[in-house]
Amino acid sequence: MNDFSNKLPIELYYWPTSNGFKISIFLEEAKYPYNLNYVNISKGEQFEPSFLKISPNNRMPAIIDPDGPDGREISIFESGAILQYLGRKTEMFYPSDYRKQIEVDQWLFWQVGNLGPMGGQAHHFRNYSQTKLQYAIDRYTNEVNRLYGVLNKKLSDGREYIAEDYTIADMACIGWVRNPERKGQDLENFPYLKLWFERMMARPAVIKGVSIGADINHDLSKDLEAQKILFGQKARD
Task: Give me the amino acid identity at 206.
Answer: V
Residues of the chain with pLDDT under 70: 218-237
What pLDDT is stored for residue 112 in this prediction? 98
Asked whether residue 106 is assigned to any structural domain, the reply reads yes
Asked whether residue 236 is assigned to any structural domain, the reply reads no
Q: Which residues of 160-189 are buried (b: 16+ CB within 10 A; e: fewer)?
A: ebbbebbbbbbbbbbbbbbebeebbbebee
What is the rounded CA–CA span in Å between residue 192 and residue 142?
A: 19
What pLDDT is stored for residue 217 in this prediction? 76
Please say whether the beta carbons of 60 and 13 come within 8 A.
yes
Asked whether residue 237 is assigned to any structural domain, the reply reads no
Question: Can you give the pTM of this predicted structure?
Answer: 0.93
Asked whether residue 1 is assigned to any structural domain, the reply reads no
Identify whether residues 134 and 64 lie together within a single domain.
Answer: no
Asked whether residue 130 is assigned to any structural domain, the reply reads yes
Identify whether residues 129 and 38 lie together within a single domain.
Answer: no
Asked whether residue 173 is assigned to any structural domain, the reply reads yes
What pLDDT is stored for residue 229 in this prediction? 57
Identify whether residues 59 and 124 lie together within a single domain.
Answer: no
CATH number of the structural domain spanning residue 131: 1.20.1050.10
Supply the range of the domain harboring residue 44: 10-93+210-231
Identify whether residues 129 and 197 lie together within a single domain.
Answer: yes
CATH number of the structural domain spanning residue 73: 3.40.30.10
**What value does the CA radius of gyration of the chain take, rounded to a whole number of Å?**
18
Report the sign of the C-alpha dihedral through residues 132, 135, 141, 144, in that order: negative
What pLDDT is stored for residue 130 in this prediction? 79
Identify whether residues 184 and 111 lie together within a single domain.
Answer: yes
Give the residue from 118, 70, 67, 86 showing the smallest Cα distance to 22.
86
Query: How many domains would you assign to the chain?
Result: 2
Asked whether residue 81 is assigned to any structural domain, the reply reads yes
